[in-house]
Amino acid sequence: KDGVEYIAGGNGERYNAFVRFVTAIDSDAAVALYVRMYPLLQKAYEDLGYPGKYFNNRLVEVIDQLLQTPEPSEPIQVTLMRVKGPIAEKRPWIRYEYADPTLEARPAGQKIMLRMGLRNTAALKAKLRDLRKRVAGRTIN
């Protein structure tokens, strides 16, 4: 509208199946599986270069980061990113960035949640809050 590009109102629909899948997961069963698998997750986390740090703490940090995703009240403006270089494009390159630098600077997970639409974002945040409540501060061995 007005020569400015926005994320299409129906864009979030492409995430509906994923959000239905995630929100349908039984939280008790998911946390029970997480607790059972935790020793392997912790070992892999340490092997990746995080000795002395806890995977569970990182999981909670990531959940908190996703929960901080803003919920804009207006359509989100985007701009077409231009790819420049010595090699000519053989086909059009289409990649949009957020026009608002504060949105573009957000972590990848938040940027994806912004594209999901308010309804899907709210549903995912509710599930994340539930899971966070179940794993935060928990002693897992």
Residue 128 domain flag:
yes
Residue 34 domain flag:
yes
Domain range for 101 is 5-135
Q: Which residues, 6+ apart, have CB-to-CB distance to 135 below 8 Å?
A: 31, 34, 56, 59, 60
Using one digit for the tens of pLDDT, what is the confidence trace for 62-112?
999 999 999 999 999 999 887 777 877 676 667 889 999 999 999 999 999
pLDDT at 91: 66
Residue 87 domain flag:
yes
pTM (two decimals): 0.87
Beta-bridged to residue 78, according to DSSP, are 5, 98
Q: Which residues, 6+ apart, have CB-to-CB distance to 42 below 8 Å?
A: 54, 55, 56
DSSP for residue 12? G
Q: Which residues, 6+ apart, have CB-to-CB distance to 93 below 8 Å?
A: 83
For the chain, what is the domain count? Answer: 1
Nearest in space to 136 (alpha carbons), one of 24, 54, 69:
54
Residue 22 near residue 116, CB atoms below 8 Å: no
Which pLDDT band, with edges at 50, 70 and 90, does 137 fall under?
confident
Residue 76 domain flag:
yes
Residue 54 domain flag:
yes
Residue 141 domain flag:
no
Residue 140 domain flag:
no
Q: How many CA atoms lie within 13 A of 82 on its CB side?
A: 2
Across 41-51, average pLDDT = 97
